[in-house]
Amino acid sequence: MKRLSILTALAVAACASAGGAYQMSDKTAARLAEYEKTGESERCLSSNMISGIEAIDERHFLVRVGAGRYYLNALSSSCHGAGRAGNRLQYEVSIGQLCRNQIIHVVDNSGGFIVGSCSLNDFEKLEKAPAE
């Protein structure tokens, strides 16, 4: 349970410094508690290695690289609609990498139109937390 408190405190502090009054939901905190931060981060990830990107909520994207490696991209501001069912994340790369400051779009699956977009931050490397 200690990891949950640390992750929650870090997220609140990061959002407060960005000028927002973000309150992480219990669902988001529980999802993030499944992982531990390694202290390592990357500015870019090779796009052909990305297996998927899951929007945990409108500020946290879990990026799966290969079969079992994960990175967290914690946005400095909300990405409207990212955590809503029926929406997907879409991005384009020109150099074969998804990098910090690149724009990612939130697309409504039913109509195919963009409902939000945001700029990425660094990708923080995660490891699965040991089962308690």
What tokens does 101 get? 């400051």
Q: Which residue has the tokens 């400095």?
A: 76
DSSP string, the chain: -HHHHHHHHHHHHHHHHTT------HHHHHHHTTEEEEEEEESEEEGGGEEEEEESSSSEEEEEETTTEEEEEE-SS--TTTTSTTEEEE---SSSEEETT-EEEEEETTT--EEEEEE---EEEEEEPPP-
pLDDT digits (tens, 9 = 90+) for 79-116: 999 999 999 999 998 899 999 999 999 999 999 999 99
| Residue-level length of the chain | 132
Please say whether the beta carbons of 75 and 63 come within 8 A.
Answer: no
pLDDT less than 50: residues of the chain? 1-19
Enter the pTM of the model. 0.80
Tell the burial category of 44 from Cβ atoms under 10 Å away from its Cβ (0-12, 13-18, 19+).
middle
What tokens does 99 get? 């990098």
Please say whether the beta carbons of 59 and 15 come within 8 A.
Answer: yes
For residue 10, what pLDDT is reported? 41
For residue 48, what pLDDT is reported? 93
